[in-house]
Chain A
Amino acid sequence: MNVTFTWAAIIALGLFMYVMLDGFDLGVGLIFPFFPDESERDLMMHAIAPVWDGNETWLVLGGAALLAAFPLVYSIALSALYLPIITMLVCLIFRGGSFELRGKADRTKNLWNLAFIAGSAGASFLQGVILGAYLHGIPIANNAFAGDAFFWLEPFSLLSGLGLMATYALLGACWLVIKTEGELQRRLHLLITPLTALLLLFMIAVSVWTPLSDSRIAERWFESGLLLRLLPVPLLVAIGAWLMFSAARKRLHVMPFILALALVLLGYVGLLVSVWPYAIPYSLTLADAAAPRASQTFALAGALVILPVIIVYTTAGYWVFRGKLVHGAKYD
């Protein structure tokens, strides 16, 4: 197996881990406004307090691994998306800070609630914007960014920002359904159906928009026979959504989260197919952007051993905090 492609696979996996894990805890912030009661908010916060910094570490891994395996992509994409990335990081600061500070504040508790909501919403939206701008391609000349500071500000990236917000909100609601019971859980169940519908809407919009706006993707989808092989994807999405609606109706506890993950995974596969084999869509291939072999192999040796270990103890950590939350427990 080619080292470069292995790294691409690891980064893709890391990114999915991030979307899945930090996705649900960002999502908790997104649905915070629907639950104004402070004791319920405490409970929602406790559902993610022991795990959020581990979840966010996948984002750090993404950055570091990109720098190690594809330094050119790291340098071009990050400098190109300067403003959205820095703003996204600032949102994460407010949000991360509010984990530590909300529980300790009394007079300013509402401000930290706001910081948590706005930080989560801003970070989710901007991550989607960054993704959308990346998918649409970054202007490059001589292996460096050669565009305008606001090139990313276009309808498609804004749409993908909203889409990612819907995705995270759904993951957050489904996670909380696992962790709660009774009246709070009932109201969380009520959120699942509209959020799933919203997610479907965005998935359709992106799927229609992408090939229409970019002939290269259209070519890839419609003329290479790929469409036929990819046909199961929309079909599976439809089935997943249908199962989700019924799971929400039956008020299942764990199933909605699993189905939400399945929907996210299907959407993610669709994106990967559109990008492959580019490192920056349509201008830089993975092979062009690869770090020297000595860099990739050195880091890979560790990754192949350590990442499975990380997944094992991360899972163990989740296992320790399994089960429904109890009112009055203090996690701050």
Chain B
Amino acid sequence: MNPTALDLSRIQFAFTISFHIIFPALSIGLASFLAVLEAAWLRTGKRHYKELCVYWSKIFAIGFGMGVVSGVVMAYEFGTNWSGFAKFAGPVTGPLLTYEVMTAFFLEAGFLGIMLFGWDKVGRRAHFGATLMVAIGTLISTFWILASNSWMQTPQGIKIENGHVVPLDWFKIIFNPSFPFRLAHMTLAAFIVAALVVAATGAWHLLKGRRDPAVKTMFSMALWLLLVLTPVQAIVGDQHGLNTRKYQPAKIAAIEGLWETEKGGTALNLIGFPDMNAEVTRHAVQVPHLRSLILTHSWAGEIRGLKEFPAADRPDSSIIFWTFRVMAGLGMLMILMALTGLLLRRRGRIFESRAYQRFVLLMGPTGFISLLAGWITTEVGRQPWVVYGVLRTADAVSPVTSQSVGISLMVLVIAYCVVFGTGIYYIVRFLREGPVAPDELRRSIGRPALAMDGTGRRPLAVAEPRGTAQHSLEGSGK
């Protein structure tokens, strides 16, 4: 079989955007975490908050840098590979992306330098201001890009003229039906992704025997956050599902591997193997009525089956049936983990239970997996449309040759694996090293920068050239 430019472009887009989203998701969560840590340090003056700040901003910096370079690719891929989409939908998505660049990207990039390198160049409050700007920037960015994506899922506020959309009502375009749910779901997901990484890092160092305030604080803070966010995420996800059932019923049918519209309540397929050609879900394990309960919040609610939609308009159930279950299943595990944490905390064993710390460590990467699975569900579930019900993916592709896309895909895969693979390697290395330990601080008199005073602005030793103070906190990592 010869893959077409369309097939290859879809693979390339899926590959580049999946790699990309890993980094922003982490940096959205970490940016707010850093702002909280710095605020706590300013308020209490406790040194371990500052240490955590410096430590996590190292990881943030790598993640952010990787996010920027992989993001530039995204900004151009709409034109290189999806010129049909750009021509058709550019009048709506273009202004939204422009607002994202102007209100978020510049804000983040403009203050990132001060946040990372400006500790001894500006005052404490100004530095906190810069950190806050970066955090706010990441959230503004989430707002615009999800407005754009949600509009592609549930388009409104437009008319179509001369082969392209014409915006009629920007308020309707931005606040389209799926936007509030998707925005909440993704923002929470980013916080959960980062919190799981922080918790797992804490768990790793607790398992290694460290009990200093920095390690305990990050472990504890992340678990408190997860205790609040994971159940809220389940509720938001449920509401998002109801919204999808209303606006994209074919997606719901495909997620559920449901072929017939059943009367008197629909069973939930716990597991099963949807077969798109035979129009049946094989080896299904079912729970009666549960599907109706979940999706309509009623015992006998009706859910439309895939057979109600023309075969050409059905998303691939065999993919999103499983990605959805991976996402939701991991979500359940996260809630379980957070609740267990509460229980152990009340018994005063949270920093001592090794079994629990191993559990938390294993859960570390599940935020990313869950996030990607969720995005695959919603994006593959939108197929065969790129703008739902309005523009088919097949009509969106550029007039490029499959050879060109084949070459670019190969080059991109190599480049991403080398550059971002190395980036991830260093992130993991930093995570394993952990924040600098207090006994290490005492031992290393030779490293005067580590003897930091409460203000953090100047090291006690003046012999050291300026600029080294905070950065040599990672001295053990060199």
Contact = CB atoms under 8 A, between A and B. Distances in A.
Interface string A80-120: 01110111011011101101110010101000000100000
Contacts of B428: none
Contact of B72 (A75, A79, A92, A326): A92
B17 interface: no
A308 to B, nearest CB: 11
Nearest to A104: B426
Nearest to A291: B91
A314 B478 CA distance: 32
A146 B389 CA distance: 28
Contacts of A104: 426, 477
Contacts of A53: 64-65, 68, 109, 112
B71 to A, nearest CB: 7
Contacts of A99: 65
Contact of A79 (B80, B116, B403): B80
Nearest to A78: B79
Interface stretch (B289-297, B310-318, B393-401): B393-401
Contacts of B416: 93
A76 B90 CA distance: 12
Nearest to A87: B411
Given A54-B110, A64-B98, A314-B106, A149 B116 contact: no
A93 B69 contact: yes
B168 interface: yes
B78 interface: yes
Interface stretch (A192-200, A257-265, A297-305): A297-305
Given A51-B113, A294-B167, A320 B121 contact: yes
A295 B92 contact: yes
Interface string B77-105: 01111011011001111110111111101
B476 interface: no
B75 A101 contact: no
Contacts of A83: 404, 407-408
A72 B87 contact: yes
Contacts of B477: 104
Interface string A139-152: 00001111001000
Nearest to A323: B121
Contacts of B69: 56, 92-93, 96-97
Contacts of B97: 64, 67-68
Given A63-B79, A314-B106, A79 B471 contact: no
B80 A78 contact: yes
B72 A291 contact: no
A77 B86 CA distance: 11
A78 B83 contact: yes
A82 B82 CA distance: 11
B121 A321 contact: yes
Contacts of B298: none
A60 B101 contact: yes
Contacts of B400: 79, 82, 149
Q: Is the interface of A mostly helix, strand, loop or mixed?
A: helix
B422 interface: yes
Contacts of B418: 94
B11 interface: no
B10 interface: no
A96 B71 CA distance: 11
Contacts of B102: 61, 302-303, 306-307, 310
B79 A74 contact: yes
Interface in B34-71: 61-62, 64-66, 68-71
A306 B103 contact: yes
A307 B466 CA distance: 33
A249 interface: no
Given A64-B97, A71-B164, A295-B167, A93 B465 contact: no
A146 B401 CA distance: 11
B72 A67 contact: no
B396 to A, nearest CB: 10
A317 B98 contact: no
B90 A291 contact: yes
A230 to B, nearest CB: 32
Interface string B259-302: 00000000000000000000000000000000000000000000
A328 interface: yes
Contact of B86 (A60, A78, A97, A317): A78
Given A146-B399, A294-B166, A330-B468, A71 B411 contact: no
Nearest to B400: A82
A106 B83 CA distance: 43
A143 B163 CA distance: 11
B98 A74 contact: no
B412 interface: yes
Contacts of B467: 326, 328-331
A86 B16 CA distance: 12
Contact of A54 (B66, B90, B113, B168): B113
Nearest to B62: A100
A94 B405 CA distance: 20
Nearest to A322: B121
Nearest to A145: B399
Given A295-B94, A314-B106, A320 B122 contact: yes
A108 B91 CA distance: 45
A87 B411 CA distance: 8
A171 interface: no
A93 B73 contact: yes
B68 A96 contact: yes
B309 interface: no
B472 interface: yes
Nearest to A65: B98
A61 B116 contact: no
Given A72-B87, A327-B465, A56 B72 contact: yes
B248 to A, nearest CB: 25
A116 B273 CA distance: 48
Given A291-B90, A326-B467, A302 B166 contact: no
Nearest to B105: A57
A80 B122 CA distance: 46
Nearest to B166: A292
A49 interface: yes
A328 B79 contact: no
A320 to B, nearest CB: 5
8 contacts: A68-B95, A68-B97, A82-B400, A86-B411, A99-B65, A101-B423, A292-B164, A314-B106
Given A54-B110, A106-B478, A294-B167, 4 more contacts: A66-B94, A75-B79, A75-B87, A89-B76
**Which 5 pairs of residues, A with B, have the shortest CB-CB distance?**
A71-B90, A78-B79, A68-B94, A50-B113, A329-B467
Interface of B: 61-62, 64-66, 68-73, 75-76, 78-81, 83-84, 86-87, 90-95, 97-103, 105-107, 109-114, 116-118, 121-122, 161, 164, 166-168, 170, 398-401, 403-405, 407-408, 411-412, 415-416, 418-420, 422-423, 426, 465-468, 471-472, 477-478
